[in-house]
Structure 1
C-alpha cells in the first residue's frame, strides 16, 4: 500500500469513508437525517479540508466547528459518536494506505474529534 500523497488519494479515502459512515447504525443518521448532507456538495469540501491538512495546500475555506453546532442542538454529538467516527476513519485508512501522511491523518482526526467532543459538550452545558 502507498501513502496519502495526492488529491486523488484524499478523494479515494474520503469517498470510501463516507460510503461507510452514512450507512453506520450509530452515526449514519447524523449525515442522512439531521444534516441531510448533499454528498455532491459535501465531499468536495471534505477533499479540500483533508488536502489542506495532509498536503499543506490551503484549499479549504470554512469553519468546520461552526457547522456542527446546529446538529448538536438537534441531537447531541457525544463521545461515543466521535469514537465511532474515528473507528471508521482509521479502518478506512488502514484498508487503503500506509505511511507518514496516513499516520498524520489518523492523529489529526483524533485531535479534531477530541476538540469537537469538548466543544459540543460545552455547548450542551455538560
Structure 2
C-alpha cells in the first residue's frame, strides 16, 4: 500500500522515470514520443526532473518555456487524455498526499493548456 507523499528529488525521479517508461510502451502516445525523442530520452528525463522539482518542491532548478517544443506535435485531445490517464495512474501507484494531488492538478492544467494552444496554432495555420 502506498503511504508516502512526494518529498524529494528521488521521488520526482521515480515518478518521472516510471511515467515515461509507460509512455514509451503506450500504443497511442509512445510512437509520437519515441520519434520526437530519438536518442534524447536521457536529456528529456533530466529536464523533466528539474521541471517537476521546481513545480512541486519549489526548488528552482528548471528554467525555460515548456510549450514551444510541443507546438508542432501531431496530437489532439485523445492523446492528452491518454497522457493524463498514464500520469494519474503513475502518481496514484507511487504516492499519496498533498504534493501527489498537486502533481495531478498541475499535469491536468498543463495538458489542457497545451492542447488548447496546439489547436489554436493549428487553426491559425489552416486559415
Deviation of 1:61 after TM superposition, in Å, equals: 1.7
Aligned to 2:92: 94
Root-mean-square deviation (Å): 1.2
Pairing 1:1-126 to 2, within 5 Å after superposition: 1-36=3-38, 38-70=40-72, 72=73, 75=74, 77-125=75-123
Contact 2:37 2:44 in 1 (8 A): no
Describe the SS at the equivalent of 1:125: helix
Q: How many residues align?
A: 122
Unpaired runs of 5+ in structure 2? Answer: none
CA drift of 1:120 comes to 0.4
C-alpha displacement at 1:63, in angstroms? 1.1
Query: What does the per-residue CA deviation read over 1:71-99, in whole Å, with 9 as the maximum and x for residues that have no partner?
Result: x2xx2x20010010000000001100000
Runs of 4+ in 1 over 6 A off after TM superposition: none
Q: How far did 1:37 drift?
A: 5.5
- Once the two structures are overlaid, the 10-residue window that deviates more, 60-69 or 43-52, is 60-69
User: Which runs of 5 or more structure 1 residues have no equivalent in the other structure?
Assistant: none
Distance 2:106 2:90 in 1: 15
Question: Larger radius of gyration, structure 1 or 2?
Answer: 2
How far apart are the structure 1 equivalents of 2:115 and 2:54? 22
TM-score, with structure 1 as normaliser: 0.92
